[in-house]
Copies of this chain bind each other. A is one copy, B any other.
Amino acid sequence: MEPRTIKLGQRVTVTTRRRKPEPARLSADRIVEVAIGYDAVTMRSVARELGTGPASLYAHVSGRAELDQLVTGKVCAQWRIPDPDPDHWDDQLRTAMTDLLALYRAHPGVARCAMGMIPTEEGVLAVSEKLLAILVAGGVPPQHCAWFVDVASLYVGSVAVEEDIWRERAAGQDVESVTEEAVVAAVHDVFAGLPADRFPLLTAMADTMTTGDADERFAFGVDLLVSGLVALSRR
């Protein structure tokens, strides 16, 4: 496994981008397309990328809130969820959640848009429907099905948001010190260096605390949720 660099999105600060002075020919679709293509989803950066000022976007999109909706809708539409297979519903959930994380990773900044969103967009509703189908086919109690969709989405989203935050923090830092490994090593040293009398477990478990890369840790969380669902259903 190669050392994944957290670097990215190095804030170009080129204020004089403005490609050509041709009239912009905008549309909601173009705006959303650009928004999911660049790391930081902001009105101004999207407008800049389209060669206009932010005010121009408001003819096609009511504001940041609607852009968030459209962006997550478009990304969710790329989320391939299989038809339910009652014998493997739990594995289907696991891979579905992993796929969503991969999608968020491919579109930095989108997880933040999705956070706290009321699902009304087509694409978002479609994936909820398909997740529900897998859960229902698995024989999970209806109330658990319903709530699990929310909890699972929230968990995947928050992992992605955390990674986005790390990425942003890494941008504008010296590149060598922000590999995932370097950060983990630093945290390890913090734990190991604590006073052992007041932090007996953290010092003793410094290795264990810092074991595993982002994927392993995420997989553990997914395992917890799915295993928990199985356990609750059997009660």
Interfacial residues, chain A to chain B (CB-CB below 8 A): 65, 115-116, 118-120, 125-126, 128-129, 132-133, 136, 142-151, 154-155, 157-159, 161-162, 165-166, 169, 183, 186-187, 190, 194, 198-202, 205, 208-209, 211-212, 217, 220-221, 223-232
Contacts and interface: CB of A to CB of B under 8 A. Distances in A.
Contacts of A208: 142-143, 145-146
Contact of A225 (B147, B159, B225): B225
A224 B229 contact: yes
Top 8 A-B residue pairs of the complex, sorted by shortest distance between their CB atoms: A228-B228, A116-B165, A224-B228, A158-B158, A227-B228, A227-B231, A132-B201, A231-B231
Nearest to A130: B201
Contacts of A147: 212, 217, 220-221
B212 A118 contact: no
Given A115-B162, A158-B154, A208-B146, A125 B224 contact: no
Nearest to A183: B118
Given A129-B201, A132-B201, A199-B129, A187 B118 contact: yes
A221 B125 CA distance: 21
Contacts of A194: 125
A1 to B, nearest CB: 18
